[in-house]
Structure 1
Amino acid sequence: MDPRLEPLFTPWKIGKCEISNRIVLTSMGGTNLLGWMEKNHFDKDGARFIMEVAKNHAGLVLPGCQPVYNPMFGQWLYKNRKMYEDLKEWMPEFHKTGAKLFIQLTAGFGRSFTISKMMESLYTNKFLRVVSKPFMDLDKITASASPSPNRWSDKVPSREMTVEEIHEYVEAFAKCAKLLQEAGVDGVEIHAVHEGYLLDQFTLKYVNRRTDEYGGSFENRYRFPVEIVQAIKKECGADFPVSLRYSVRSMTKGFREGGLPGEDFKEAGRDMEESEKAAKYLQEAGYDMLNCDNGTYDAWYWAHPPIYMPENCNLQDVEHIRKFVDIPVVCAGRMEPLAAAESIAAGKIDGAGFARRFLADQEWVTKMMEGRDEDIRPCILCHNGCFNMCHYKGVPNDQELSDSLHLSRCAVNAETLQWKKHYIKKTSSPRKVHIIGGGIGGMEAARVLKLRGHEPVIYEKSDVLGGTFIPASAESYKDKLRELLAWYRSQMKALDIEIHLNEEVRDTAGFEDEPVIIATGAAPRILKNVPGHERMIEACEYLNGAEVGEVVAVIGGGLTGSEIAYELALGGKKPVIVEMKDDLVSQKGVCLANSSYLREWFALHQVPVYLETTLKEVKENSIICRGKDGKDIEIACDSVISSAGYIPAPLQGHGDEAYLVGDCYKVGNLRSVIWRAYETAMKI
């Protein structure tokens, strides 16, 4: 292990609870021990994930948050005594790992509850609203400190919680904490004065406009979380540790509008001055630890950083707030282990929080300790598998129901929390399997086939493995994608997979009866009906190094086009985005944390964006477009990049036992490529 990492592996205490090292698994929905968006029960899949993380040297483990009032079916968490008994039976096995377990309890989401189209229908139809109440009472689930707009939908506003409801929640926290203590859990974490969830909504002036004892003054706005910790301490005793998930700064300009890194703006929520006071106040109330980051759902990219956010994006603020308390402070948010170790060694923070890294590779801490960094499968911060709540103009949460009910799966690791569906099963009949195409899909298929006992052979027409993932990972800020590409290449070498570079396969006739996996990718959509289209530079050509001028028109404002425009601007160019739809990144599968960052960044930096606009002609030094008003617009530019999408390009004339994977089957994202490649390799 790199000796600079040693501070991460020193013991520390939360109250009287000693933790073996400073690595903290922070809570993620979907890794719950007592069920998620379903009837509460002891969740064996959640337990398996938590156990794997604990076995691999996490010091403190926090499973997914548990609402004390279940949004689905309206059940209070303390009612089901059987699951606490099951948890108690499991805890001794967990404690054999040497890790400690805190269960995160939440009051819920309030105005941040992710509303879908189906939920809008349930709420706006009076009959359905009544009928659906027993399993989804949206009026109760979305209630907030004051009447407020929902983060996702204009059709399901939040009403004001009553004082009686608040007292009911406080009592529920205390009852749940007592049952968890009796089950052998080491502590609880209260979620949260953090991320604009319900308790945070009470503390934030732009949401809380109450005039009773829970609104107005500083003490009144923080009364709800204070009463919770006091009730828990009264029920469980002063020595039972209670952590608080805490956002140091809200980084929020107002409803549905965040403040970007480096932006000078007026804080609508908690600024640093208030946070200095609040942190001390919450410590005095009884909290034993602050588990910190920044942001709200209105500025979601701080709490769920996409790849565009800086590494260690919250560290400076958390180090600052540590000066104002005497209790341990943990920092989370794109944390890098070396930076965390340095901060811990200097006494600036006490623990380092990591989350999605564990989804990509539950063994990453063990591998880091053993100096096997090249074996760590990296998280690429895409949110495609773990948290792909998608939102764009006029549409609430656009997400498959299976994703909504099964969070914390992983785009780059098909097995995570899908062990019943995706697992390595050894073959009893080893075969040679020919794989046409050495991109991510081809390499994932080869990896799984080899682990099963087959003999995969990759044929790649270029001189290097990677396919379109090479340009896809080329932008300056995509270091994590380049790490994933390096991981796949190293896996091919470690598994001794036969690879033929510079060998293009035009048909599969020579493979006789042996199975073939076709992973030949997709071809760019060419706008042949646009005069002058031959003047355009295709997106991958630009990403592979094609030169462009000073002012660059990007045709297509989906994720690829928006990321290209972002890279152009970072490099000092002047991009102009032309998009046919009425919003940028108007596509399913892209998390709001990712898409809102790009939209707000373009607005802040005054990047021209033409929505509901169609390209008509490409000229020598300009483009002609038709605007949403039906009139033609001429936009001056030096270069034009086409990001109009891709069309599957499978190898033609393949035999009976041939399988398509990746974009040659259906154009998607990295998750769809990896998961299908895994599943295909399991069929052979």
Structure 2
Amino acid sequence: MKKEHEILFEPFKIGTVMIKNRFVLEPMEGTNMIDCLPIFKIGEDIYDYYVERAKNHVGLIIPGMVTLRSMVGKQWLYEQKEIFEGLKPLLAEIHSYGAKVFLQIGAGWGRTFTMPLALKELYEKEKETGQKSMFDWDNLLVAPSELPNRWLPEIIHRPLTEGEILEYVDAYGKTAKLCMETGFDGVEVHAVHEGYLLDQFTTKYTNRRTDQYGGTFDNRYRFAKEVVEEIKRQCGDTFPVSLRYSVTSKTIGFGIGAVYGEKFTEAGRDLEEGLKAAKYLQDAGYDMLNADNGTYDSWYWAHPPVYMPLNCNMAEVTRLKEVVEIPVVCAGRMQPDEASASISEGKLDAMGIGRQFLADPEYIVKLEQEKFSDILPCIACHNACLPIYHYEGVGCEIDEEDGKTQGHCALNPRTFCEQKYDFEKKAAVTKSIAVIGGGIAGMTVARIAAIRGHEVTIYEKSDRLCGVFNAAAAPEFKEKDKEFIRWIQQEIESLPIKVEYNCEITTLAELTEDEIIIATGAKPRKLDVPGQEKAIEATEYLLGRKVGKDVAVIGGGLTGCEIAYDLVLKGKRPVIVEMADDILKTKGLCMANSSCMRDLLRYYEVPIYKNAKLLEIIENGIVIETAEKTIQLECDDVIMSCGYMPDTRLVDGGTQQGKTNIHIVGDVKKVGNLKTAIWEAYDLAFSL
């Protein structure tokens, strides 16, 4: 083990409970031991997921939050004794590996309630007609004060009454007692964190009450204080209670977050109040602070995407030990070197890890054995774990298929599907397999097929693997993408896979393998406008093409916006031209990612023309048409980022009609993202 990491493997105490090391598996939506959407039930496919991580040395497991009330049926969690009884075998097996489990229980969402357009329409129809559905709107659309919904501001949440607050306080106590009786080692209160209901009571911009739960500091934190007091009253002082805690809100106002390094006026909890509240809540009875920053208005602090720095919450969280004596955990793209140093200096007690454990359950073991290059990195894409999207004209949306696999991992489909993708089960018949295209989809299907015992050859037309992902990973803020490239290349090299470089397959007739897989990816979509020959294609720029000071980026999708941000970091002056009514209008693109990018473009004052059509590329500029007028913009270079379309030349020109041994996978089938490419590749490889 690396000497600097030794402290990560030392035990620490939360109240009276000893945790065997400093690794905390953070709660994430989709990892719920108890699901509450829409009714209470044991989470699906959780058994193998948690056991595998307990086997691999996780010290403390905190499953995804379960609310005290269900979305429908007006059920209370403390009434669900049969569900808790059903978790006892899982808890027993987790405990057999020395891991501890705290159940995270929460009062609910408040104004952050996930409201898609379809639910809004149902709600409004019920208001108009008086008809009732299964949804308990009166208890779902609540807040400390009358507040707009985060996703659809036209939906207004009503204030909780004092009597309802006391009901929640009582429910926290009863639920914690049931957890204790079931065998959980503690509970975590959700949360003075991320702008959820309890947190909305604590911040001035969301709490406008004039009763004992509003106004002064003590009143705003009264709800959270009464919760831990009630838990201790019902469970005793020795049953640990952690608090999920945002040190600061990082919020400028409703729907506007503050990006890393931005100077701003805090609308929510600033650092001074964050430290004061931490001491106050410790003294009230909380035994640990599980901390980061942010609210749903600055969601990317609690769910940091690739644009946020590694260890992004450390500066604020490490200040907590100045005022509290209880353990402090920091989460947010945490890295072991920085965590080890802070723990050694007494600034932290443990390292909070969420999505990295989705990507690689053996993360701790590989750290311990110094197999750093073997770690499959989390690249902070949110493509599978949190694919909730939001843009102009929609609310909190998630596609049906993505909703079924929320909490999973784009890079590792085995997460929550450990039985389905069992690497120990080799193929019944060994086959020779040709993979045409060495991009991520092709490499993945080749890797899994080789693991299952097949003889695999990759035919790659260029001199390098990873295809277009080499360009996608090029910006300086994509350090984890580059790690993923190194990881998957290492995997290919470690397996008996033959790679033919500079070998373009032009006809399938020249291949003699038993199975042929076409993974030739996508090609850029081009705009037919005068002067298009002057433009630079997005991948050209990303792979190193030099540009001038002023650059027009045509296309405000994910790639175009990332290019604009990359240009800003390089001291350029980009402008974005987008045909649609909004940028980042991409289904499945997590709002944590898109809102971070939007706020970065705001912060760096990048001009954005929406509902704008490119008419012509001229010498030293472009001509665009908006709803109001035609505009000529001066620029040195034009980068085209108008999306991609499947490159079907080989498919269309093939001889696959009537054959069963030819398969297509990845973007050549349908342009998607890493999740679609890798998951399709897994399914294909396991079907061969």
**TM-score, normalised relative to structure 1:** 0.97
Q: In structure 2, how many angstroms separate the alpha carbons of the residues matched to 1:2 and 1:50?
A: 26
Return 5+ residue gaps in structure 1 as ranges: none
1:332 matched to which residue of 2? 331
Please say if residues 152 and 397 of structure 1, whose CA atoms lie closer than 8 Å, have aligned partners that are also in contact: yes
Q: In structure 2, how many angstroms separate the alpha carbons of the residues matched to 1:422 and 1:145?
A: 46
Which residue type is aligned with residue 267 of structure 1? E
For 1:127-163, what per-residue CA distance to the aligned partner results, in whole angstroms no more than 9, with x for missing partners? 69865543x2233112010110111013422111111
1:653 matched to which residue of 2? 654
The Cα shift of 1:41 comes to: 2.9
The Cα shift of 1:175 comes to: 0.9
2:637 matched to which residue of 1? 639
User: Over the residues paired in the alignment, what is the CA RMSD in angstroms?
Assistant: 1.5
Aligned pairs for 1:87-102 (under 5 A) are 87-102=87-102
SS of the residue corresponding to residue 158 of structure 1 reads strand
Asked if 1:600 corresponds to 2:599, the answer is yes
The Cα shift of 1:395 comes to: 1.3
The Cα shift of 1:360 comes to: 0.7
SS of the residue corresponding to residue 318 of structure 2 reads helix
Q: In structure 2, how many angstroms separate the alpha carbons of the residues matched to 1:169 and 1:514?
A: 62
2:8 matched to which residue of 1? 8
Please say if residues 189 and 245 of structure 1, whose CA atoms lie closer than 8 Å, have aligned partners that are also in contact: yes
Please say if residues 192 and 199 of structure 1, whose CA atoms lie closer than 8 Å, have aligned partners that are also in contact: yes
Please say if residues 36 and 71 of structure 2, whose CA atoms lie closer than 8 Å, have aligned partners that are also in contact: no
Number of aligned residues? 681
The Cα shift of 1:511 comes to: 2.6
SS of the residue corresponding to residue 37 of structure 2 reads coil
Asked if 1:678 corresponds to 2:682, the answer is yes
Which residue type is aligned with residue 680 of structure 1? L
Aligned pairs for 1:51-70 (under 5 A) are 51-70=51-70
Aligned pairs for 1:109-188 (under 5 A) are 109-126=109-126, 131=131, 133-134=133-134, 136-188=135-187
For 1:636-671, what per-residue CA distance to the aligned partner results, in whole angstroms no more than 9, with x for missing partners? 000000001111013131422211111111111111
Which residue type is aligned with residue 340 of structure 1? A
For 1:22-66, what per-residue CA distance to the aligned partner results, in whole angstroms no more than 9, with x for missing partners? 111110011111224143233352232222211111111101111
Please say if residues 409 and 417 of structure 1, whose CA atoms lie closer than 8 Å, have aligned partners that are also in contact: yes
SS of the residue corresponding to residue 337 of structure 2 reads helix
1:294 matched to which residue of 2? 293
Go from structure 1 to structure 2 and tell me whether the alpha carbon gap of 1:72 and 1:673 turns closer, same or farther (over 3 Å shift). farther
Go from structure 1 to structure 2 and tell me whether the alpha carbon gap of 1:44 and 1:552 turns closer, same or farther (over 3 Å shift). closer
Q: In structure 2, how many angstroms separate the alpha carbons of the residues matched to 1:267 and 1:410?
A: 34
2:367 matched to which residue of 1? 368
1:305 matched to which residue of 2? 304
1:211 matched to which residue of 2? 210
2:668 matched to which residue of 1? 664
1:541 matched to which residue of 2? 540
Go from structure 1 to structure 2 and tell me whether the alpha carbon gap of 1:611 and 1:173 turns closer, same or farther (over 3 Å shift). same
1:22 matched to which residue of 2? 22
Return 5+ residue gaps in structure 2 as ranges: none
SS of the residue corresponding to residue 527 of structure 1 reads coil
Aligned pairs for 1:263-662 (under 5 A) are 263-419=262-418, 421-424=420-423, 425-512=425-512, 514-528=514-528, 530-629=529-628, 631-650=629-648, 651=650, 652-655=653-656, 656=659, 657-662=661-666
Please say if residues 149 and 156 of structure 2, whose CA atoms lie closer than 8 Å, have aligned partners that are also in contact: yes
For 1:317-353, what per-residue CA distance to the aligned partner results, in whole angstroms no more than 9, with x for missing partners? 1111221111111111111111000000010111110
Which residue type is aligned with residue 157 of structure 1? I
**TM-score, normalised relative to structure 2:** 0.97
For 1:297-327, what per-residue CA distance to the aligned partner results, in whole angstroms no more than 9, with x for missing partners? 0000110101111111110111112211111
Larger mean CA deviation between 389-398 and 504-513 belongs to 504-513
For 1:357-380, what per-residue CA distance to the aligned partner results, in whole angstroms no more than 9, with x for missing partners? 011111111111111111111111
Please say if residues 112 and 150 of structure 1, whose CA atoms lie closer than 8 Å, have aligned partners that are also in contact: yes
For 1:264-306, what per-residue CA distance to the aligned partner results, in whole angstroms no more than 9, with x for missing partners? 1111101111112111110111000000000000000110101
The Cα shift of 1:682 comes to: 1.8
2:31 matched to which residue of 1? 31
SS of the residue corresponding to residue 226 of structure 1 reads helix
Q: In structure 1, how many angstroms separate the alpha carbons of the residues matched to 2:39 and 2:447?
A: 37
For 1:209-236, what per-residue CA distance to the aligned partner results, in whole angstroms no more than 9, with x for missing partners? 0111111111111111111111100000
For 1:486-512, what per-residue CA distance to the aligned partner results, in whole angstroms no more than 9, with x for missing partners? 111111111221111111111111334
The Cα shift of 1:513 comes to: 6.6
The Cα shift of 1:397 comes to: 1.6
Please say if residues 302 and 333 of structure 1, whose CA atoms lie closer than 8 Å, have aligned partners that are also in contact: yes
SS of the residue corresponding to residue 268 of structure 1 reads coil
SS of the residue corresponding to residue 101 of structure 1 reads strand
Go from structure 1 to structure 2 and tell me whether the alpha carbon gap of 1:137 and 1:404 turns closer, same or farther (over 3 Å shift). farther
Larger mean CA deviation between 552-561 and 70-79 belongs to 70-79
Please say if residues 10 and 21 of structure 2, whose CA atoms lie closer than 8 Å, have aligned partners that are also in contact: yes
Larger mean CA deviation between 542-551 and 238-247 belongs to 542-551
Q: In structure 2, how many angstroms separate the alpha carbons of the residues matched to 1:131 and 1:15?
A: 49
Please say if residues 29 and 36 of structure 1, whose CA atoms lie closer than 8 Å, have aligned partners that are also in contact: no
Q: In structure 1, how many angstroms separate the alpha carbons of the residues matched to 2:388 and 2:279?
A: 34
Please say if residues 192 and 199 of structure 2, whose CA atoms lie closer than 8 Å, have aligned partners that are also in contact: yes
The Cα shift of 1:404 comes to: 3.2
**Displaced runs of 4 or more, over 3 A:** 127-133, 418-425
Q: In structure 2, how many angstroms separate the alpha carbons of the residues matched to 1:250 and 1:522?
A: 41
Q: In structure 1, how many angstroms separate the alpha carbons of the residues matched to 2:447 and 2:155?
A: 46
Which residue type is aligned with residue 640 of structure 1? V
Please say if residues 435 and 442 of structure 2, whose CA atoms lie closer than 8 Å, have aligned partners that are also in contact: yes
Percent identity over the alignment? Answer: 49
The Cα shift of 1:77 comes to: 0.9
Go from structure 1 to structure 2 and tell me whether the alpha carbon gap of 1:654 and 1:294 turns closer, same or farther (over 3 Å shift). farther
Which residue type is aligned with residue 506 of structure 2? R
